[in-house]
Amino acid sequence: MSRTTPPRPLEITAVLPQMALLARTATRLHPRAGSPSPHDGLGGGPLLWPAAEPWPYCDGPHVPNGNPALSPGDVRLRRRIRAAAASRPLGQLRFTPEEVAIDKQINIGRPWPEDPVAMLPVAQLYVRDVPLLRPPGRADMLQVVWCPFGHPPEPKPRTALLWRSAATVTTPPEPAVVQADGYVPEPCLLAPEQVTEYPHPMELSEELQERLQDWNTWQEAGAAPDSSYEPAPEEFHWPRTVHRSRLEGRRLDPLGTY
């Protein structure tokens, strides 16, 4: 599978050799369109699941926030409609009257859940693909599931991480409703890539932060592109540290959103 990490515009250790001590290996999880089987490393589902183990549910609390609850089927149908609309040539009616009616119906929403909510599969990562994982015992994969509702005080899903040995397959249940369509992961294949990442500049020592902000540092390394950055050198070094750090690894973001 193709990978999209661009080459580094410059090697930061050539500018600040001290950074070499802070380098570490991370894994980018490139999502790729496809229909994964439970035996693949994947985003979304389906997961391998031990037949004897009950599927995890979240007891909440699930506090209404004014938005309608949607079923996972609603979310998927709306995505298909939007994809179809986006594929139509310019100048054509973007949404058909039927699609508008379906969308209106979806937006009415579903009853807010009062019972525990089935967790949704988010990712299944095999150690063979992400060798940095350190599984306990004989486990060889990590599963990530989440509850598709925000959990105050933070408006984000509650996650659970499960270590597994590749085991028997079963069809897990789905929650009847979710709080937001962004909480329903789209099944996809993953193309793991090992990359080197460095800490966020704010995590560096004051001395290193000052060196990064010193224009002379970049000039001496022959890395300064032109004098237009001189009044605000952070405009140059931040994209090369913050953004690179973000693009080239993040710390095992289970969604691997790049």
Q: Which is nearer to Zn ion, 111 or 231 (CB)?
A: 111
Nearer to Zn ion, 58 or 178 (CB): 58
Please state, in angstroms and rounded to a whole number, the distance separating the CA atoms of residues 132 and 26. Answer: 8
Is residue 149 a contact residue for Zn ion (CB under 5 A)?
yes
The least distance separating Zn ion from the CB of residue 73, rounded to whole angstroms, comes to 19
| Binding of Zn ion by 125 (CB under 5 A) | no
Q: Considering beta carbons, is residue 49 or 183 the nearer one to Zn ion?
A: 183
| Contact between residue 122 and residue 144 where contact means Cβ atoms under 8 Å apart | yes
Q: What are phi and psi of 10, to 5 degrees?
A: -160, 160
Residue 106 or 147: the one with the smaller Cβ distance to Zn ion is 147
Binding status of residue 70 toward Zn ion by CB under 5 A: no
Q: Is 120 in the site for Zn ion (CB under 5 A)?
A: no
DSSP H helices, the chain, are 12-15, 72-86, 97-108, 206-213, 215-220, 234-238, 244-247
- Checking 95-99 for CB contacts under 8 A at 24+ apart, the result is none
Q: Which of residues 195-254 bind Zn ion (CB under 5 A)?
A: none
The yes or no reply on residue 19 touching Zn ion (CB under 5 A) is no
Q: To 10 degrees, what angle do helices 72-86 and 97-108 make? A: 150
Task: Give min distance, CB of 58 to Zn ion, in A.
Answer: 3
Binding residues for Zn ion, total number by CB under 5 A? 3
Let me know the angle formed at the C-alpha of 33 by 27 and 37, rounded to the nearest 5 degrees: 85
Q: Which region, judged by CB under 5 A, interacts with Zn ion, from 52-60, 100-108, 186-194, 215-223?
A: 52-60
Q: Which stretch binds Zn ion (CB under 5 A): 144-152, 176-184, 208-216, 241-249?
A: 144-152
Is residue 118 within the footprint of Zn ion (CB under 5 A)? no
147 binds Zn ion (CB under 5 A): yes
Where does this chain touch Zn ion (CB under 5 A) — which range of 48-56, 57-65, 72-80, 159-167?
57-65
Q: Which two tokens stand for residue 123?
A: 């990712």
| CA atoms of 224 and 8, how far apart (whole Å) | 15
Question: Residue 41 or 113: which CB sits closer to Zn ion?
Answer: 113
SS3 235: helix
Selected binder of Zn ion within 19, 47, 48, 58 (CB under 5 A): 58
CB of 54 to Zn ion, least distance (A): 16
Residue 183 binds Zn ion, judged by CB under 5 A: no
State phi, psi for 223 to the nearest 5 degrees.
Answer: -105, 0
The counts of H helices and E strands in the chain are 7, 8
- What residues line the site for Zn ion (CB under 5 A)? 58, 147, 149
